[in-house]
Chains A and B, each alone.
Chain A
C-alpha cells in the first residue's frame, strides 16, 4: 500500500514549457486535490475532484488544468510555465467517509 505517489520529485522548466505532474493513489479514495506551498503563504488549493470525471477549481486555479479519468490518477498540467509557478506541489486524497486528507511527498518545481 503505497498511499499517494507523486512524480517527479524535482523538476526544472523553462518559461513557456509545458509539463504534467503525476499523482496516483492506491487507496480507492473518491476525493483528490492539488495544493501548492510557497514560503509565507501556506498551502493553497489549486483544483480538486470528487470522483472520476468530476473536477472543480480551488483558490488558485489559473495556469493549471486537471482531469480525472480514473479513480486512481489525478494529473496536474501546466500548459505554459511561468516563474510565478515555482513552488512545491502536493497531491492529496481522502475517502468519501471522512474528511481527513492523505498527502503525497511533493514535487518541487522551479521555472526559470
Chain B
C-alpha cells in the first residue's frame, strides 16, 4: 500500500526565517511526486512535479528536492503570503490505476 507521511504537521516561522518541510513516501514504482499549496476554502494549487531521485525544481522562494525515500520543500526567506497548507502526493505506477496518494499536509504560518 502506498503511503505518504509529511512532517511537521504545523510550522510557525518568522518572516525571513528559512526552513524545510519533509515528505517521506513508500510506493511501488514512483511515477511522480507532487507538491501542492492549499489556501483555506480553496482547492490544491500545483507547485512542482519531481520524477526521479536527484531532481530539483525551484519557483520563487520555494525549492523541491527528491531522494529515493523522501522529498523536501525548502522555503527561503518566507513572506506572510507563503502561509498555507503544503501537500505532498505521489503517483504510483503499475496496473493502469491512476490518481494520487496524499499526505496529511503541513500547515505553515509565516508571522510578520
Residues of chain A touching chain B, judged by Cβ–Cβ distance below 8 Å, are 4, 31, 33, 35, 40-45, 48, 50, 56, 58-59, 90, 98-106
Contact call B99/A48, Cβ cutoff below 8 A: yes
Kindly provide the distance from the CB of B35 to the nearest chain A CB, expressed in whole angstroms. 10
Q: What is the interface size of chain B, counting residues whose CB is below 8 A from a CB of the partner?
A: 24
Q: Is B96 part of the binding interface, using a Cβ–Cβ cutoff of 8 Å?
A: yes
Contact call B42/A106, Cβ cutoff below 8 A: yes
Q: A43-B87, A100-B34 are in contact. Are A106 and B43 (CB under 8 A)?
A: yes
Contact call B43/A42, Cβ cutoff below 8 A: no
Which residues on the B side are within 8 Å of A33 (C-beta)? 98-100
How many A-B pairs have beta carbons closer than 8 Å: the answer is 60
CA–CA, A58 and B2, complex, Å: 12
| Interface bits B90-112 vs A (CB < 8 Å: 1, else 0) | 01000011111111110000000
Q: Sort A-B residue pairs by CB-CB distance and give the 8 closest, nearest first.
A: A103-B43, A45-B99, A42-B104, A43-B102, A99-B32, A99-B91, A42-B102, A48-B99
Contact call A42/B44, Cβ cutoff below 8 A: no
Residues of chain B touching chain A, judged by Cβ–Cβ distance below 8 Å, are 31-32, 34, 36, 41-46, 49, 87, 89, 91, 96-105
Which residues on the B side are within 8 Å of A103 (C-beta)? 36, 43-46
Contact call B43/A99, Cβ cutoff below 8 A: no
Contact call B31/A99, Cβ cutoff below 8 A: yes
Among B45, B49, B87, B99, find the residue whose CB has the most chain A CB atoms closer than 10 A: B99
Kindly provide the distance from the CB of A90 to the nearest chain B CB, expressed in whole angstroms. 5
Which residues on the B side are within 8 Å of A59 (C-beta)? 101
Contact call B101/A45, Cβ cutoff below 8 A: yes
Kindly provide the distance from the CB of B13 to the nearest chain A CB, expressed in whole angstroms. 22
Q: A40-B104, A42-B105 are in contact. Are A31 and B49 (CB under 8 A)?
A: no
Contact call B43/A98, Cβ cutoff below 8 A: no
Q: A42-B104, A42-B105 are in contact. Are A58 and B99 (CB under 8 A)?
A: yes
Nearest opposing residue in chain B for A103, CB measure: B43
CA–CA, A4 and B42, complex, Å: 13
Among B46, B87, B103, find the residue whose CB has the most chain A CB atoms closer than 10 A: B46
